[in-house]
Structure 1
């Protein structure tokens, strides 16, 4: 079964590595590389540039950079891989590119920014990053920024909506055809996006809060709102999003199936997609990387899903969404 993954943080490792043999082509420092993506039959991978704080710069062992310089570093890294291996991978700027690449047997890559803080109250920066090849912005990460407020266990934070610039940014992204991603956004911000956006939007890596009561997951009402507007949500393989009281920090296939069954029950078969969050989460993974993704499709088959339903989850829903936006 071929598939699309809406979110990974792999560039954080391959784009900062000082070792030439630890590249996006093949590596052992991350969960994702081109060889493993091909092995698992992924044909479109979203690559996030996750904006780091000081502790993360220490984690990847590089000197702190400005957000702009860090985005340039990682995007240049991906573009160089594309230039070096044009027979293997191509950067997507329009929906037609995906169809062309698949026909030619290439992996399609979409560049994304995780944390809209880099916009700094300047709408022209959305134009700039669009021109640089970015096609999605995850509005928030775990901290307040110029757009709004994050998912939080604090109800006072969670209910706060988008700021004025955040609302203006939604309209700007709609005009450009830039994908709006509400994973990490507060509940109040989610509903503001739903009210303002004239186009479908996505939660690229979020699960069901009714199953696992974590603020990063979607409530049933959010699932209804997102699905009714033509949006999608990508299943996240993070252990603590999949199961509460997960003391062994295990990302289990059975838990994934439980979340997907609930998300389909609430949002329909056209709602679910895959957004692994590989290289942005830690734990013990029954599906440790893209090479093992067929295990999830086999589990869905054994759980009674039809082939069409599995295909919708694996890639058809994401393709329908992307055709609407790009």
Structure 2
């Protein structure tokens, strides 16, 4: 079993003030031993910021500085555990790391508001190694509008600066992540994007009525561009408020296959990006084999499962610029 996990928030957790542990040993969902046991080939590590945490400390400018702190933290972790973990900026790097028996760590940014209207920051992030960006989180920002239960927000899309950002990301070869986008922003991104577009950690709205999830129309449109969606293990996005159930994970994967085709579903756990679960049937990457077996019981072939766990994401990551 090989895994590419399109999204986790472990860097955010480990760089919290007073947080104990590191990538080798911690009380998070993601650590090196669990990834090794799971067969993780690539883990995409999000540099996530919540601007509310910086409201009295400089806002998005301070959040941008913290993104750099998280990137620096991952670099130092890689130096400490260089026999087990290596950074990757292209699929060529992934292949080299895999041959050496190392897990590839790719850096992403979740919350493009940290650009705060400065296009040069996008260039800086790319030069520093960011290969995927989620343009917004749960707030309106300089790029556009987020998911919302307010339809007047949900129908709004990219702002003028946001259109420039999406265009430039395509020129750089950065992957655009439509997770957290409003329906209007999603449509604008698909219209403008010249490179890979994915939903790194999003589920199916038909099965769980939440604005963070994708409608069947969105699944079809994204699949038609060659995009993928990574299954998110957060209970409310699966269908149960405080529980993360394998039965519901299975239903979402099967729905993605039905609506998006065999090349569409992937894994995007969102590990360490949520709290409040009273029960998680899969709490660490090495437990994803339970979902594999559940899907096999539903008649999904091992060849298809390998696509979901690995090959579909591999296809997208190979499309990045070197």
Q: TM-score, normalised by structure 1?
A: 0.94
Which aligned pairs between 1:52-131 and structure 2 lie closer than 5 A?
52-54=50-52, 66-131=62-127
- Deviation for aligned residue 1:199: 1.9
Q: Secondary structure at the match of 1:324?
A: coil
Backbone CA RMSD of aligned residues = 1.9
Q: Which of 308, 321, 325 is 2:316 aligned to? A: 321
**In the alignment, which residue of structure 2 is the partner of 1:40?**
38
Which aligned pairs between 1:1-326 and structure 2 lie closer than 5 A?
1-16=1-16, 18=18, 22-28=21-27, 30-54=28-52, 66-243=62-239, 246=240, 249-282=242-275, 283=277, 284-326=279-321
Contact 1:16 1:74 in 2 (8 A): no
Unaligned runs of 5+ residues in structure 1 are none
Distance 1:263 1:253 in 2: 15
Distance 1:210 1:63 in 2: 39
Q: Deviations over 1:300-324 (max 9, x none)?
A: 1111101110000000000011112
Q: Secondary structure at the match of 1:273?
A: strand
Q: Secondary structure at the match of 1:171?
A: helix
Q: How many residues align?
A: 318
Q: Deviations over 1:115-173 (max 9, x none)?
A: 00111122211110001111111011000000000000000000001000111111100
- Deviation for aligned residue 1:202: 0.3
Q: Deviations over 1:236-291 (max 9, x none)?
A: 00000001xx35x1100010010110111000010010000011122121001112
Where has structure 1 moved over 6 Å in runs of 4 or more? 62-65
Distance 2:297 2:54 in 1: 40
Q: TM-score, normalised by structure 2?
A: 0.95
